[in-house]
Homo-oligomer: A and B are copies of this chain.
Amino acid sequence: MMKVGLLGAGRIGGVHAAAITAHPRSALAAVSDFFPENAEKLASAYGSVARSTEDIIADPEIDAVLIATSTDTHSELMEAATAAGKAVLCEKPVDLSLERARACQANVAKTGQSVMVGFNRRFDPSFRALKEALEAGEIGKSELLSITSFDPAPPPVEYIKVSGGLFRDMMIHDFDMANFLMGDTPVRVSAVGSSLVDPAIGAEGDVDTAAVTMTYADGRIAVIRNSRRAAFGYDQRVELLGSTGMLQAENMLENTVVKSTAAGVTGAKPMHFFLERYMPAYRAEWDAFVTAVEDGTAFPVTLDDGVAALAMAEAATRSHQIGAPVDLSEV
């Protein structure tokens, strides 16, 4: 039974607390948070205890830590936890600063430990089935990837201010999905973005609507579209054209009811947001972590993956700023 310390008792921390508890081979040993009362509340809901982050990392009884704190603490906590010999699962993004993330990567490497990064979408059953079909050769060689990722509604501007911007905060998932499916990182990134959804987001210098085109060394192309608002819910689709066919992962719907009236034929909306849509993915991600630690095998998503996605976000941010493509080798 793996004893797990959960660092961070926010919304995503709650998701992980449930997954850790439900897993037959892991237990939620302790919870910490910047606001101790949050840690208390989450811990008691799952029959666990609240402790300080330092305590948890120092406790030799704790086997693993899950880092779900604010992004600016990720690097430091990964370094401390791996130095303490813990198995670590860290939420994305690894950092807002590519430089800091690379330093963290080096520091973690010195500990001889490795870190799994929480790109949960890789564990979504549909994206996984798409990847398996691709690897089974069902559409031949991949050529043109398109990722659509629209949130149901923009976050508060207070969040935007500390988010690092759309490319680092939101599209980071799509950069990783591209790496996952294309099996390579791009050589060049070209981004455009606008503030069409909420002028307050534009006032902060950020965008809420964006399109990024990426090209690969072998000529393949990927397009990512993001919007902070889709009135109909959480739109999460992938489409991959290959030499002998196309694979699409469509949205998961709230239910399967279809209503036909004089007004048309209406089905359910996509599941509202990431907690509902990716709940099976969060569970599968945690199982993959536990299994890899138990078996001593490599993590399926590594710190290198986290840094690679961050570099693409950095390139996209710069491309948007200068209005020209940016080579990934430049960032």
Residues of A within 8 A of B (CB): 22, 125-126, 129-130, 133, 138-141, 143-144, 146, 148, 150, 188, 190, 192-197, 209-211, 213, 215, 219-221, 223, 225, 227, 229-233, 235, 241-270, 323-325
How far apart are A282's CB and chain B's nearest CB, in angstroms? 16
Question: Can you name 20 A-B residue pairings with CB atoms under 8 Å?
Answer: A129-B255, A133-B259, A143-B196, A192-B213, A194-B221, A230-B246, A231-B260, A232-B245, A232-B246, A232-B265, A247-B258, A247-B259, A249-B257, A250-B257, A250-B258, A264-B268, A264-B269, A265-B267, A265-B270, A323-B325
Number of copies: 4
**Given A192-B213, A210-B221, residue A264 in contact with residue B261 (CB < 8 A):** no
Complex alpha-carbon distance, A211 and B143, angstroms: 12
The reply to whether A260 and B244 contact each other, CB–CB distance below 8 Å, is no
The reply to whether A257 and B126 contact each other, CB–CB distance below 8 Å, is yes
The reply to whether A209 and B248 contact each other, CB–CB distance below 8 Å, is no
Contacts of A150 in B (CB 8 A): 241
By Cβ-Cβ distance, the 3 closest A-B pairs, closest first, are: A194-B219, A245-B261, A232-B260
The reply to whether B213 and A190 contact each other, CB–CB distance below 8 Å, is yes
Contacts of A220 in B (CB 8 A): 194, 196
Contacts of A254 in B (CB 8 A): 125, 129
The reply to whether A223 and B211 contact each other, CB–CB distance below 8 Å, is yes
The reply to whether A261 and B138 contact each other, CB–CB distance below 8 Å, is yes
**Given A219-B195, A269-B265, residue A231 in contact with residue B245 (CB < 8 A):** yes
Complex alpha-carbon distance, A126 and B130, angstroms: 26
Contacts of A125 in B (CB 8 A): 254-255
Contacts of A219 in B (CB 8 A): 194-196, 209
Contacts of A243 in B (CB 8 A): 196-197, 229, 231
Contacts of A221 in B (CB 8 A): 192-194, 209-211
Complex alpha-carbon distance, A258 and B251, angstroms: 11
A21's nearest neighbour on chain B, judged by CB, is B22
The reply to whether A252 and B245 contact each other, CB–CB distance below 8 Å, is no
The reply to whether A192 and B194 contact each other, CB–CB distance below 8 Å, is no
**Given A144-B227, A257-B126, residue A232 in contact with residue B194 (CB < 8 A):** no
Contacts of A245 in B (CB 8 A): 231-232, 259-262
